[in-house]
Amino acid sequence: MILEEIAAFAARRVARAKELVSPGKLREAALSLPKGDLRFAKALRADGTSLICEVKKASPSKGIISEEFPYLAIARDYEAAGADCISCLTEPKWFLGSDEIFREIRGAVSTPMLRKDFTVDEYQLYEAKVLGADAVLLICALLDTKTIARYLEICDALGLSALAEAHDETEIESALQAGAKLIGVNNRNLKNFTVDFENAARLRGKIPSSALFVAESGVAGAQDIARLKAAGADAVLVGEALMRAPNRRAALLEFRRAAQ
């Protein structure tokens, strides 16, 4: 399965990173930084349905999405058009992202940012903090409940928001038991990368009002944003539709109108 391949590669990436910077040194560096104020999660509590806009060059299911990939211009367009948050892929093999891309975007915009990667080791949480992230992704299909809970404790200590991503009822229950307060329901099944656009709406009732609900994947246009808003989404993560739009600012402004 592709998810297992990505996770195994992530583990090898972490092992190499630890050879360059020891876990102890990285943890010390992360904890020496000012504690975050959870501004990523705060941004998603705004009126209407918030929009998390994604910067990504490629994906396993679509291949190359943006040949030229002017990522700084993309991020600036998102910020100018009122994105509530920005998601940036740092997975290098299948998504062609990097920590350097994230770092450059972080230096160019002030919008809250999610470091979107495949977290398989707590080392990556400290990496995210040092990179300037406001939030990290925890994929429930990769992590058991106990591990999610431990990672959430680390995120709390660093002041990072943690988006716990689920695809089905069992994974939602695991996230809730772990104490997650920000839960994304992915319309894409990461085990085979098929998309069921109704998945997030179908599972909305499984998430209590005490948690923020983020609908992820499958948005093609403003009408999809409107449907997810009607389904009760606190936020929607949009990637490919914006990355492929001839005019990203115009497309995002249209999406924002649908989200209000």
Token duo for residue 65: 């999405």
Catalytic residue among 127, 129, 217, 240: 217
Catalytic residue among 50, 186, 187, 199: 186
- Is 216 an active-site residue? yes
Token duo for residue 73: 């211009």
Contacts of 65 by beta carbon, 8 Å cutoff, 6+ apart:
56, 57, 58, 59, 240, 243, 244
* Tokens 């490629």 belong to residue: 58
- Is 186 an active-site residue? yes
Catalytic residue among 116, 161, 187, 240: 116
Catalytic residue among 91, 122, 127, 165: 165
| Cα 253 from Cα 223, distance rounded (Å) | 13
Question: Quick one: which of 208, 256, 210 has its CA closest to 236?
Answer: 256
Q: Judge contact between 218 and 237, C-beta under 8 A.
A: no
Which residues are marked as active site? 54, 56, 116, 165, 186, 216-217
